[in-house]
Structure 1
Amino acid sequence: MSRLLREPNIPDPDGFYQALIEAVQGLSPDEALAFSARLNLLLANHVGDREVLAEAIAAARKPD
């Protein structure tokens, strides 16, 4: 049974996307990549479940 939530679950997804865009505005490509890595690690720590994180990594590797 999949434990990774795949249904939309972010209130105001467009607003969240806009916040992400604004967070990297003015950063160099390397700085934006470092920001993304830090954000990923913070969110992974928040999730905290290795099985869910492994499922998310596998899902993110698929180009669908």
Structure 2
Amino acid sequence: MTLNLDPNIPDPDGFYDELLAVHKDLSKKESDALNARLLLILANHIGDRAILSQALKAARKR
């Protein structure tokens, strides 16, 4: 299996709005901590180490 980098989120604008809203009124430190927790939750959900490694490499390149 390979990492899907094509658009794949239904209602991406709605998701982006929700993502911004969850950060509302947080300090930079709190926002960074939320992002770290979200990343770990989603990584756990994916669970596939090969896909996670591909994602890390893709994120680093961008």
Give the aligned partner of residue 51 of structure 1.
Answer: 50
Give the aligned partner of residue 13 of structure 2.
Answer: 14
TM-score, length of structure 2 as denominator length = 0.96
Q: Does 1:25 align with 2:21?
A: no
Could you report, residue by residue, the CA deviation over 1:21-43 in whole angstroms, capped at 9, with x for unpaired residues? 00001000000000000000000
Report the RMSD for the aligned CA atoms in angstroms.
Answer: 0.9
- Supply the distance in 1 between the matched residues of 2:7 and 2:31 (Cα, whole angstroms): 25
- Supply the distance in 1 between the matched residues of 2:17 and 2:35 (Cα, whole angstroms): 15
TM-score, length of structure 1 as denominator length = 0.93
User: Can you give the 5+ residue segments of structure 1 that lack an aligned partner in the other structure?
Assistant: none
- Runs of 4+ with >2 A deviation: none
